[in-house]
């Protein structure tokens, strides 16, 4: 009997499909790697199982990266199994090749990436048989993971031909990222490694223009010069009480100076003169009151949800996506989250009514309980009805807005409940009527010395809360109501405060504001409609923006400080290089945004894959040619002058593209010859680090250095005087002092406080060089060998963590270890392994797979 093979993206989705189909197609038998009944075989990938790669003759290993092998533009791409997924791939391919499987159903996530996962698996299976498959393909397109939604999806499977544009865009995105990433990274790394060493300089089609947005903002912050200005705030006495007003110039008009405002004075003398003139004087009052209404913001797409979750809860974009994915996939309480639509299909009114009734009737858990009352009101008042602002097919792409499903939540974690609450409140609010206000603008005019000085007071009184009631704003704030003034009443200027202020630089990007900038290709747009028009030309897609930001953080191009994203010296150096080489394609967000627009046009069948890839190949060749042909000694840029003097002659040390160099006592001469690399061991100095290094002649331990083969390592740096060159030079210090101590040189720990007792010999443990060591492991009489690094796999181990390990046997959970093998981050505790006699890793137990009493923590050597 012939069967259809269903390939899902993840095992959990395969299980959901089996549960949904069982009532209609019969019971499934569970096998090791698939489920099967009379009609279907259901299996799954685990995300990507296959990756594209250049044919062997084009593949250049990292150790041989040089301009001689660039550009790499293969005529086609081969496929290779992803190492960790080989067994799963073999299992899926085995099912594809079964003779009784006569049809394939693509049940991967309904989007570009899901399409690519399925297509590459099928292509790989064709390659392994050397014969193209003749098995027809249909597409399961799910917006929701409830059992009924899955059954409905199987009732209306889409033809494979309908998804050809999406498949072309998926392959083109993947190949374009490979071409730009591989060629750009190798070209910039080769350029930066000309003086020796290995300075890994990663670039990407979306990653680098995103970084350029952050760097340009930081440049504006650094160049900002604070300007003094003054504001005047007056208190007026009326019969009914007092009110405040702010001075403004009614004749002011916007100009090129963005810091000028109608309410700012740029001379203290002018501000004091106005204050003196109006103080104690009568003022006439005019006011205008207008009704105003405010509609609820639109439903969430992924980017908007990520922005708000970052602003409200501090969630990273990656965290928000993973929570939303769990609410969709595991709990089935949200619709598909990887969407760029803020609207619903026009035929979805009935489903929304059902969803509203579910929310109204369910006893929602914990803090979500209050939402049921708002849903009941929406049902009772009939708020859900056709409305083009909400239900509009023209504004729905492959997926509609994120809304709750018909499934009620049962057991959500705290952070899952927070995100579900955000989505449900927005879902309720968008159907509620607009909030209504009475907005009053009052102008108090003081005539003094033949001049008129005006002060403005604004009041906003809520008349009807409308949708704001969903957010708990049923009652207006007490201070929103203005003290009334009778018609023709003259008030008295009771007091005037002159406030001295300074202009501020623009704010640094947070993930919320960077996501907004990525959405509109670098243009910060507040207007919803204009931003919507721009979003097709944004950087990346809602599903990939979080990954892009995390990639920039991982590559040390920027770091988080609180909620701010701050670019590093490595980021500035990359932008200086790309601008100096005139590689505009990688620095201008709007250009890359246009390529994203072309991919969306390809999805709709309006642009050929060949034309797009031809443009990408030409761009790749230009990037490599610009780097390869650049023949000047340095790259022009905006470079720093250090505050710390030259360690040899006391002269001025200046930065250029590659080095920090002495330029003589007055900063204009050749200097004494002192010079150090800006990127020792492939790691860029931050300015504060090099200042500290020159003044203390030592710094570290620092992590992020790379060997010539590209592997990361940790070390201290020192300035050592070299008699041969009669100057100071930079050297790596891998703990020579500690080695001397091990050779018998006494070590004085008297000025240090012990971190705790050595787990081996009960002696005291202290900091020493790049390690924490037992006092008996160094010096003239070594009787112990306890030693543990201050940085392990790029994870700094703070003093308090080592003290905790010595006292309790383990540290807290540390989140930033980076595997040398896979280069991926992982979480673990450092723990003392008495059996092995060393510090090792202890991983969190996987309770779901192992019975609780057997969930002993795994241990491995940490070194």
The DSSP secondary structure of 224-242, one letter per residue, reads: ----EEEEEEEEEEETTEE
H-assigned helices in 565-706: 569-580, 589-603, 609-629, 687-696
Rounded CA-CA distance 597/673 in Å is 52
Q: For residues 278 and 493, is the Cβ–Cβ distance under 8 A?
A: yes
DSSP three-state, residue 568: coil
In degrees and rounded to multiples of 5, residue 602 shows phi and psi of -65, -40
> Checking DSSP bridges between strand 795-796 and strand 791-792, what pairing results, if any?
antiparallel
| Three-state SS at 696 | helix
| Residue of 300, 328, 336, 420 marked active site | 336
Residues 190, 361: Cα–Cα separation, whole Å? 64
Rg (CA), the chain: 33
Strands 101-107 and 3-8: parallel
Q: Rounded distance, CA 844 to CA 827, Å?
A: 8
Evaluate whether 138 touches 106 at the Cβ level (below 8 Å): yes
Q: Are 305 and 402 in contact (CB under 8 A)?
A: yes
Report d(CA 690, CA 473) in Å as an integer: 52
810-832 b/e with 16+ CB inside 10 Å = b?
Answer: bbeebeebbeeeeeeeeebbbbb
Contacts of residue 320, Cβ cutoff 8 Å, sequence gap at least 6? 305, 306, 309, 310, 419, 546
- Residue 212: asked if its preceding bond is cis (omega within 30°), the reply is no
Confirm whether 336 is a catalytic residue. Answer: yes
Q: Give the integer Cα–Cα distance in Å for 12 and 18.
A: 10
Q: Read off the DSSP letter of residue 607.
A: S
What does the alpha-carbon distance between residue 17 and residue 150 come to, in Å, rounded to a whole number? 7
**DSSP-assigned states of every residue in 245-258:** EEEE-TT----S-T
What phi and psi values does residue 363 have, to the nearest 5 degrees?
-90, 85
Q: Nearest 5 degrees, angle CA 689-CA 693-CA 695?
A: 120
For helices 414-429 and 369-381, give the axis angle rounded to 10 degrees. 20
Separation of alpha carbons 699 and 487, rounded Å? 72
Distance CA 625, CA 627 (A): 5
Cite the active site residues: 336
């Amino acid at each position: 009997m012939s069967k259809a093979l269903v390939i899902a993206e993840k095992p959990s989705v395969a299980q959901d499909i089996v549960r949904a189909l069982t009532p209609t197609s019969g019971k499934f038998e569970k096998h090791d790697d698939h489920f099967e009944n009379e009609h279907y075989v259901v299996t799954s990938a685990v995300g990507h199982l296959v990756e594209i790669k250049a044919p062997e003759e084009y593949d250049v290993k990292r150790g041989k990266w040089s301009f001689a092998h660039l550009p790499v533009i293969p005529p086609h791409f081969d496929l290779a199994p992803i190492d960790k997924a080989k067994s799963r791939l073999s299992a899926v391919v085995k099912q594809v090749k079964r003779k009784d499987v006569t049809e394939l159903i693509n049940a991967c996530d309904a989007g570009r990436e899901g399409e690519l996962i399925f297509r590459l698996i099928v292509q790989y299976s064709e390659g392994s048989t050397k014969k193209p498959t003749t098995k027809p393909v249909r597409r399961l397109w799910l917006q929701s993971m409830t059992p009924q939604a899955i059954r409905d999806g199987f009732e209306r499977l889409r033809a494979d031909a309908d998804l050809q544009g999406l498949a072309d865009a998926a392959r083109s995105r993947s190949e374009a990222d490979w071409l730009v990433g591989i060629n750009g990274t190798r070209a910039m790394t080769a350029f930066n490694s000309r003086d020796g060493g290995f300075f890994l300089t990663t670039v990407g089609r979306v990653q680098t223009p995103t970084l350029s947005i952050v760097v340009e903002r930081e440049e504006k912050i650094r160049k900002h010069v604070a300007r003094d200005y003054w504001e005047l705030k007056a208190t007026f006495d009326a019969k009914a009480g007092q009110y405040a007003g702010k001075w403004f110039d009614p004749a002011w008009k916007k100009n090129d100076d963005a810091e000028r405002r109608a309410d700012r004075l740029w001379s203290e003398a002018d501000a004091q003169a106005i204050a003196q003139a109006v103080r104690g004087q009568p003022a006439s009052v005019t006011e205008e009151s207008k009704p105003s209404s405010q509609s609820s913001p639109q439903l969430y797409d992924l980017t908007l949800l990520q922005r708000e979750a970052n602003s409200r809860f501090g969630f990273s974009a990656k965290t928000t996506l993973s929570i939303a994915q769990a609410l969709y996939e595991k709990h089935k309480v949200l619709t598909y989250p990887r969407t760029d639509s803020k609207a619903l299909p026009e035929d979805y009114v009935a489903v929304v009514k059902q969803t509203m009734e579910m929310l109204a009737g369910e006893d929602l858990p914990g803090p979500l309980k209050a939402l049921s009352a708002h849903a009941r009101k929406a049902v009772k008042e009939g708020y859900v009805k056709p409305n083009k602002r909400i239900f509009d097919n023209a504004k729905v792409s492959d997926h509609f807005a994120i809304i709750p499903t018909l499934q009620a939540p049962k057991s959500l974690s705290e952070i899952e409940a927070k995100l579900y609450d955000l989505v449900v409140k927005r879902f309720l609010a968008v159907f509620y009527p607009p909030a209504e206000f009475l907005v009053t603008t009052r102008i108090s005019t003081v005539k003094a010395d033949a001049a008129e000085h005006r002060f403005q007071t604004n009041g906003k009184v809520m008349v009807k809360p409308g949708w704001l009631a969903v957010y708990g704003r049923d009652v207006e704030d007490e201070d929103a109501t203005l003290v009334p003034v009778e018609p023709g009443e003259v008030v008295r200027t009771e007091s005037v405060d002159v406030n001295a202020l300074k202009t501020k630089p623009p704010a640094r990007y947070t993930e919320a504001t960077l996501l907004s900038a990525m959405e509109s290709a670098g243009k910060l747009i507040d207007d919803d409609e204009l931003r919507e028009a721009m979003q097709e030309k944004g950087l990346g897609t809602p599903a990939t923006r979080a990954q892009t930001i995390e990639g920039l953080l991982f590559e040390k191009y920027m770091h988080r400080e609180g909620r701010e994203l701050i670019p590093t010296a490595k980021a500035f150096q990359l932008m200086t290089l790309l601008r100096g080489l005139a590689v505009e394609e990688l620095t201008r967000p709007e250009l890359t945004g246009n390529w994203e627009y072309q991919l969306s046009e390809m999805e709709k069948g309006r642009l050929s894959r060949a034309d797009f890839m031809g443009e990408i190949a030409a761009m790749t060749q230009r990037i490599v040619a610009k780097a390869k042909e650049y023949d000047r000694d340095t790259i022009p840029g905006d470079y720093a002058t250090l505050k710390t003097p030259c360690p040899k002659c006391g002269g001025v040390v200046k930065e250029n593209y590659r080095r920090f160099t002495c330029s003589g006592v007055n900063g204009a001469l050749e200097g004494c010859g002192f010079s150090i690399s800006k990127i020792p061991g492939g790691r860029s100095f931050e300015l504060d680090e090099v200042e500290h290094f020159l003044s203390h002649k030592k710094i570290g331990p620092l992590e992020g250095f790379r060997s010539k083969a590209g592997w990361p390592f940790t070390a201290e740096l020192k300035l050592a005087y070299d008699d041969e060159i009669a100057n100071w030079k930079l050297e790596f210090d891998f703990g020579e002092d500690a080695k001397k101590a091990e050779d018998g040189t006494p070590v004085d720990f008297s000025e240090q406080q012990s971190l705790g007792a050595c787990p081996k010999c009960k002696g005291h443990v202290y900091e020493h060089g790049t390690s924490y060591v037992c006092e008996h492991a160094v010096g003239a009489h070594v009787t112990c060998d306890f030693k543990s690094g201050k940085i392990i796999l790029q994870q700094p181990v703070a003093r308090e963590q080592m003290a905790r390990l010595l006292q309790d046997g383990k540290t807290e959970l540390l989140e930033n270890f980076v595997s040398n093998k896979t280069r991926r981050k992982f979480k673990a505790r450092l723990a003392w392994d008495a059996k092995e006699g060393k510090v090792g890793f202890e991983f969190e137990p996987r309770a779901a797979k192992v019975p609780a009493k057997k969930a002993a923590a795994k241990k491995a050597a940490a070194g």
